[in-house]
Amino acid sequence: MSNTTATRVIVTGRKPAGRSLFRRSTPEHADRSVQKRRARRETLAGYGFLSPWLLGFFGLTLLPMAYSLYLSFTKYNIFQPPEWIGLDNYVRLFTDDPTFVQSAQITLVYVVVGTPITLAAALGVAMLLNYRDRGAGFFRSSFYAPSLIGGSVSIAIVWRAMFGNDGPVDSVLSAIGIDLGGWIGNPALVLPALILLAIWQFGATMVIFLAGLKQIPKELYEAAEMDGAGPYHRFRAVTIPLLSPVIFFNLLLGLIGAFQVFTSAYIISNGSGGPAGSTNFITLYLYKRGFSDGQMGYAAAIAWVLLIVVAIIAFILFRTQRSWVHYSGDAR
Amino acid sequence: MSTTSFGEQAIAALENQVDATEQIPRRRVKRKTWQTVIWFVVLLAITAIVLYPLVWLFLSTFKPNSEFGSNPGLIPNNPTLDNYVKVSEGIAGVPMWRFFLNSFIIAAGSVIGVVLSSALAAYAFARIQFKGLGILFAAMIGTLLLPFHVLIIPQYILFNNLGLVDTFIPLLLPKFLATEAFFVFLLVQFIRQMPRDMDEAARIDGAGHVRIFWSIILPLIKPALITCSIFAFIWAWNDFLGPLLYLTSPENYPLPIALRLYNDQTSSSDYGATATASFIALLPVLAFFLVFQRFLVDGVATQGLKG
């Protein structure tokens, strides 16, 4: 017991408030001190295991975020020290920079049009695959492949060729009498081509939907059918509510991912964001401002606008979650 | 199949009887068959659309330059291997194998870093009760939603001041510090599914966390570690923005950046080389996919399901 007390002094740096020798040696007391020591050991082990992550989180995420917030209030070109200019960058973004406004618009169109279609396609195909087991594994894998390679430079190059002038898409459309010309060089059609590229990568979302669908008990569908519910009603009353946590997850990650599209736009426009700024997504504009024009402070402000928009969307989604996402105790 | 037991036969016979007494109308059976046929055809059509760009790219590597622009179809009119010969020679004075090697070093380094650091962090989050667990876990989930682009400017300034631009360190260091929350999250999900009996028994026998982590948890989560490794490899292999920011000399370029070289310098004439280099850059990823698709698909499915 004396040993315990000694350790406790060392560990807590505090003398035990021993009123009497007898009291200190009660089993209850010894127990509590052992518990405390164990808790301390656990905390120490926890931070030990977490140390690489903590270093990364503070050194490469939290502090850089704080620094970029600071930079967003400055004029900074790397060579001279940052010069504090207050809110000027932000004011300029919204009042005196039509390129930014355009870039925000096309990014929003891309997110708002692309994400729901991708989700709907993913859910539709997942339901198709859930209908029969035979061969479903093969289809599941082939549909998943594009999500793995879709963000690569190679696929962006393929897309540029496929939707370019005299590419496969153009020639098929011409053959059936729709003469649109190349999509890549056309400011009105290059964004749809990029949205199609995003939809093409529905596989990862589909796999998550499929796993969710498999967890819905078959009896629920049977019960609904007994009650005379047709396919549409079964979809509305069983599939959607029971799948809502998965829909929520996919929607959240899909929206946030769509805001960050970069590689395809960069490659398809050769880094220019053209034609006529129609592929100048926020991330590409940020990159050009920061790394081509050397306006690091201004680019940081763009990054913070992006962050705030994403945060607001995440907040709204989490806030409205209660009204449409159903967590049944079992399905989670 | 041939050794069906008597019991199974009996059950089958009983089932047949039940079927017979129920007398399913023939029309309904027919409808079911038709539905399956339509189902199969629809899915085949989707497969064709989804895989078309890949097949097109593969077959384009055999097209001579003159056919780009005149033959948008799948099959080359005059198939040739010239493109492969040209690409193997490299570009900008750098041989092709060098780009491959760079890509490989970055991807392999990423795998080691991601698996080590993410497994450690995930074990702490899933199995150790420590002060601050809740808030740090929430912070980790938060970084899952954080747009990466907020960090590129300060991180670039940091690595630039440390004199590390044009080295692989800015690309690899973040992986060794578990900054990619996807992997930590995936492993946390996986470890939480593991029964606690074994590590509790080990604790009673006096094993510490290091011991439990190393000899019990790590072997148990091997499938998840494989999933993480494959994703880490493929993502690092395909990464464009990171190398674009940090690598400046061509002999340090990985494949995606080297591809841009083909694109910028000769895109007006050399479509064949561009297509072929693009296809070669995809090959390792496609090979990984074919071999490990089960791990990849299951990994994604677990990630989305339990929150």
Look at residue A257 in the predicted model and tell me its pLDDT.
Answer: 93
What average pLDDT does chain A have?
88
What single-letter DSSP state applies at residue A226? H
CB spacing of A53 vs B140 below 8 angstroms: yes
- Per residue in B104-128, pLDDT tens? 999 999 999 999 999 999 999 999 9
Is residue B209 domain-resident? yes
Q: What is the CATH number of the domain that holds B148?
A: 1.10.3720.10
CB spacing of A52 vs B148 below 8 angstroms: no
- Segment B295-307 shows an average pLDDT of 74
Nearest beta carbon to residue B157 from set A78, A141, A171: A78
CB spacing of B117 vs A144 below 8 angstroms: no
- Contact in structure between A300 and A92 (CB atoms under 8 Å): no
Is residue B159 domain-resident? yes
Domain that holds residue B252: 91-304
Is residue B38 domain-resident? no
CB spacing of B271 vs A211 below 8 angstroms: no
Please state the domain count of chain B.
Answer: 1
The secondary structure of A114-180, three-state, reads HHHHHHHHHHHHHHHHHHCCCCHHHHHHHHHHHHHHCCCHHHHHHHHHHCCCCCHHHHHHHHCCCCC
- Per residue in A45-69, pLDDT tens? 999 999 999 999 999 999 999 999 9
- Contact in structure between B42 and B36 (CB atoms under 8 Å): no
Confidence of residue B200 (pLDDT cuts 50, 70, 90): confident
Is residue B82 domain-resident? no
Helices then strands, counting H and E runs in chain A, come out as 17, 2
Look at residue A268 in the predicted model and tell me its pLDDT.
Answer: 92
- Per residue in B32-67, pLDDT tens? 888 889 999 999 999 999 999 999 999 999 998 888
Confidence of residue B4 (pLDDT cuts 50, 70, 90): very low
Higher pLDDT, B80 or A303: A303
CB spacing of B282 vs A152 below 8 angstroms: yes
Higher pLDDT, A23 or A280: A280
* ipTM confidence score: 0.86
Q: Which amino acid is at A117?
A: I
Mutation target among A65, A67, A123, A158 for the B interface, most CBs of B within 10 A = A158
Is residue B195 domain-resident? yes
Q: Is the pLDDT confidence value at A248 over 80?
A: yes
What single-letter DSSP state applies at residue B94? B
Mutation target among A35, A40, A43, A61 for the B interface, most CBs of B within 10 A = A61
Is residue B80 domain-resident? no
Indicate the helix (H) or strand (E) that contains A286: helix A282-287
**CB neighbours of residue B228 within 10 Å:** 26
- Segment A294-321 shows an average pLDDT of 95
Q: Is the pLDDT confidence value at B255 over 70?
A: yes
Alpha carbon distance A197, A157 (integer Å) = 12
Is residue B26 domain-resident? no
Alpha carbon distance B113, B120 (integer Å) = 11
Alpha carbon distance A77, A297 (integer Å) = 7
Burial class (CB in 10 A: 0-12, 13-18, 19+), A150: buried
- Per residue in A127-169, pLDDT tens? 999 988 778 888 999 999 999 999 999 999 999 999 988 888 9
Is residue B275 domain-resident? yes
Look at residue B25 in the predicted model and tell me its pLDDT.
Answer: 61
Look at residue A13 in the predicted model and tell me its pLDDT.
Answer: 40
